């Protein structure tokens, strides 16, 4: 809440500077206002509760290290994402070092998660393909769900609420799916798949239309994945920010502002975000698995369905 009060005071200062520019400082005052507006667009997003890197960049700007602040602002989502990757890799390394014939608690937990993922994807992809794609799909799910939940941790933000992260994830899925399609079907089979796998005379007559339609569909898939994930996580962040701001305003209205105490109106929505963040990670991963399934050779695909 104290961070929200600081942000509110900063916004008041910006409004005062803008008002001074309107009353007469149309030259340098206007340029100063534009500079502040640009800084706001590149740094703290309007829908986010202030986080650690925002506080760091503000401190660097005040101390005259504008270049370092700009670098952190530009790559803050990457920093949070790679921070999770580093912590996750260290955790896995520790778990792998403690492998025993009679597993301990940590090894049991890791094996239970892996087995859960394997059983889930086996029902969809079959035994052989579940083993092959489990590392990618499991890592994808864990990365997304943990990045979704980072926005609920005080002082952190959710990197999946910005298009840079979600489009990068969708691009990884898109490239891997196309690679698997070419590897399993060959170039000719892959093109035949994009044609709609025509068999009859009518299907061959419709082949040019189906080829364009399937190609557009393949290109739309990563866009759909990225926008769905980003929109839902950003919506959660906006809702939590609005309720936290409203709680701070209500606390000030009833005389608690001097104590820097805000009413926790955002708390129920944070529990809702726990559910929605997990659902969005599951949906993204499940759709990625289905995209792999659609690229399997048709005979194998039909065999898996019958099984």
List pLDDT tens digits, range 108-135. Answer: 888 888 899 999 999 999 888 999 999 9
- Residue 4 confidence (pLDDT): 41
Q: Which H or E element spans position 194?
A: helix 163-194
- Residue 181 confidence (pLDDT): 92
- CA separation for the pair 74, 204 (Å, rounded): 50
CB-based contacts of 147: which residues, under 8 Å, 6+ apart? 80, 81, 84, 158, 159, 160, 165
- Residue 300 confidence (pLDDT): 57
Q: Do residues 114 and 138 touch, judged by C-beta distance below 8 A?
A: yes
Kindly give the parts of the chain with pLDDT less than 50.
Answer: 1-43, 302, 305, 307
- Residue 260 confidence (pLDDT): 64
CB-based contacts of 59: which residues, under 8 Å, 6+ apart? none
CB-based contacts of 256: which residues, under 8 Å, 6+ apart? 262, 263
Q: Where are the domains of the chain?
A: 117-306
- The total number of residues shown for the chain amounts to 307
DSSP-based three-state secondary structure for 63: coil
């Amino acid at each position: 809440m104290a961070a929200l009060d600081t942000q509110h005071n900063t916004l008041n200062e910006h409004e005062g500077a803008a008002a001074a520019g309107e009353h007469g400082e149309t030259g340098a005052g206007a340029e100063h206002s534009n500079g502040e507006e640009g800084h706001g667009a590149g740094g703290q997003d309007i829908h986010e509760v202030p986080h650690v890197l925002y506080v760091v960049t503000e401190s660097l700007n005040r101390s005259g290290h504008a270049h370092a602040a700009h670098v952190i602002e530009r790559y803050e989502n990457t920093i949070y994402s790679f921070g999770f990757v580093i912590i996750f890799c260290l955790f896995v390394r520790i778990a792998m070092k403690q492998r025993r014939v009679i597993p301990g608690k940590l090894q049991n937990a890791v094996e239970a998660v892996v087995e859960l993922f394997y059983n889930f994807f086996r029902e969809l992809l079959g035994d052989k393909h579940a083993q092959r794609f489990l590392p990618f799909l499991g890592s994808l799910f864990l990365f997304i769900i943990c990045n979704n939940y980072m926005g609920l941790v005080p002082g952190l933000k959710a990197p999946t609420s910005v298009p840079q992260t979600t489009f990068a994830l969708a691009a990884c899925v898109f490239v891997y799916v196309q690679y698997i399609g070419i590897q399993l079907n060959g170039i000719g089979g892959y093109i035949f798949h994009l044609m709609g796998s025509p068999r009859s005379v009518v299907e061959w007559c419709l082949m040019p239309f189906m080829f364009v339609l399937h190609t557009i569909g393949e290109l739309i898939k990563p866009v759909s994945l990225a926008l769905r994930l980003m929109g839902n996580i950003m919506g959660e962040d906006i809702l939590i920010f609005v309720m936290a701001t409203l709680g701070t305003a209500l606390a000030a209205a009833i005389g608690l502002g001097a104590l820097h105490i805000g009413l926790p109106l955002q708390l129920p929505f944070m529990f809702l975000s726990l559910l929605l963040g997990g659902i969005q990670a599951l949906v993204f991963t499940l759709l990625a698995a289905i995209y792999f399934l659609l690229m399997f050779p048709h005979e194998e695909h039909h065999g898996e369905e019958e099984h």
